[in-house]
């Protein structure tokens, strides 16, 4: 069977199982078997697959139809134009999280951002993307999961920024040794019931998905400790889930009554990033109606 015939056949199979981007995923899996680039794949679509290659490809397709994400099968995920190694120790970076990087780079054009803390760094995609675009910034990348930090360390070395990103193990802001100009957090925000009902944690780590009964437990807890770790004119960027912007915008003014708060939608129109500017905020932390879970 030729590469062209194989791609068409597999694309139809994946699509029939309601797998989105079936064409892209079939290409990624075939390239994984052949160990070739996209350009090389399309240079000779009439090339025949060997029996061994067909067998190997079939095993990958079986894994994908069983629900395993393509990124785990191939060990690769693109984020902000960069290639990252991923496996089941870390959450797979989502395209919508690129908005955190874009917002940070926009802020850095008009405000001094010399120190950054990336909370819940996972594979290190956000921290590394920022390190490559803000070479003068000192970046702390924090995660409670030691296995996740092993993946982040590999990616830091892969992209040549291991000497500029300080990886720290610990819960939220606890390991942060100094106040910073910017805190970025892509914390778990999926509701606990949704995680269990949808099987989201069948492959990806539950620790990186489960945000508590309302999805906001960890976000609330982080916000209550920000004042001690953010410089007086610093910024906080939070990624949130669909339908959570109202709740977040409701409790933040109680914590930071003088701060400027902005909510930015992603390309799908979903409110995705909450930006908070502490420039005018008081240093006194107030009680919040948000319950920490």
Q: Give the percent of the chain with pLDDT over 90.
A: 84
Helix, strand, coil shares, percent, the chain, to 5: 45, 20, 35
Say if residue 145's pLDDT is above 70. Answer: yes
Residue 287: the pLDDT is: 41
Residue 278: the pLDDT is: 82
Q: Which of 88, 158, 152, 86 is nearest to 120 (CA)?
A: 152
Residue 289: the pLDDT is: 44
Residue 201: the pLDDT is: 80
Residue 196: the pLDDT is: 83
Per the structure, how many domains does the chain have? Answer: 2
Rounded Cα distance, 227 and 270, in Å: 28
Q: Are residues 53 and 16 in the same domain?
A: yes
Q: Are residues 58 and 173 in the same domain?
A: no
Print the domain residue range for 35: 3-74
For the CA atoms of 78, 53, 204, 246, the dihedral, rounded to the nearest 10 degrees, stands at 40
CATH no. for residue 49?
1.10.8.10
SS3 170: coil
Q: Are residues 160 and 230 in the same domain?
A: yes
The partner residues of 168 in beta bridges, in order of sequence, read 142
Say if residue 205's pLDDT is above 90. Answer: yes
Rounded Cα distance, 40 and 168, in Å: 40
Instruction: Quote the strand ranges of the chain, DSSP E.
Output: 76-79, 82-85, 115-119, 138-143, 165-169, 180-185, 230-239, 260-265, 271-277
Say if residue 285's pLDDT is above 70. Answer: no
pTM attached to this predicted model: 0.91
- 85 falls within a domain: no
What is the pLDDT averaged over residues 26-49? 93
What is the pLDDT averaged over residues 157-161? 98
Say if residue 31's pLDDT is above 60. Answer: yes
- 206 falls within a domain: yes
Q: Are residues 99 and 63 in the same domain?
A: no
Say if residue 272's pLDDT is above 70. Answer: yes
Rounded Cα distance, 273 and 161, in Å: 26
Residue 22: the pLDDT is: 95
Residue 195: the pLDDT is: 87
- 260: tokens are 């400027």
Q: What is the DSSP string of 79-101?
A: ETTEEEE--TTSPPPPGGGHHHH
Mean pLDDT of the chain: 92
What is the pLDDT averaged over residues 186-203? 87
Of the pLDDT bands very low, low, confident and very high (cuts 50, 70, 90), residue 284 is very low
Q: Are residues 44 and 127 in the same domain?
A: no
Residue 280: the pLDDT is: 52
């Amino acid at each position: 069977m030729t590469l062209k015939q194989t791609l068409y056949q597999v694309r139809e199979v994946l699509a029939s199982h309601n797998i989105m981007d079936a064409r892209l995923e079939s290409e990624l899996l075939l390239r994984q078997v052949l160990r070739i680039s996209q350009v090389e794949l399309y240079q000779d679509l009439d090339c025949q697959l060997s029996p061994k290659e067909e067998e190997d490809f079939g095993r990958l397709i079986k894994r994908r139809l069983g629900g395993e994400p393509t990124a785990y099968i191939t060990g690769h995920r693109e984020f902000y134009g960069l290639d990252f190694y991923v496996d089941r120790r870390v959450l797979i970076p989502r395209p919508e999280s690129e908005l955190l990087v874009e917002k940070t780079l926009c802020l850095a054009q008009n405000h001094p951002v010399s120190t950054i803390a990336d909370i819940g760094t996972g594979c290190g995609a956000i921290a590394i993307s920022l390190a490559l675009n803000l070479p003068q910034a000192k970046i702390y990348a924090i995660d409670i999961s030691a296995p996740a930090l092993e993946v982040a360390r590999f990616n830091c070395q892969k992209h040549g920024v291991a000497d500029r990103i300080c990886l720290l193990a610990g819960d939220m802001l606890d390991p942060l040794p100094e106040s910073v100009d910017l805190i970025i957090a892509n914390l778990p925000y999926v509701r606990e019931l949704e995680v269990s009902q949808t099987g989201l944690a069948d492959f990806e780590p539950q620790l990186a998905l489960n945000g508590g009964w309302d999805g906001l437990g960890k976000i609330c807890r982080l916000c209550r400790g920000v004042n001690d770790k953010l410089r007086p004119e610093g910024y906080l960027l939070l990624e949130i889930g669909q339908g959570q912007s109202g709740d977040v915008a409701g409790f933040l003014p109680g914590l930071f009554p003088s701060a400027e708060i902005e909510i930015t939608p992603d390309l799908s129109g979903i409110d995705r990033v909450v930006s908070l500017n502490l420039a005018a905020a008081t240093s006194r932390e107030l009680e919040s109606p948000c319950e920490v879970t």
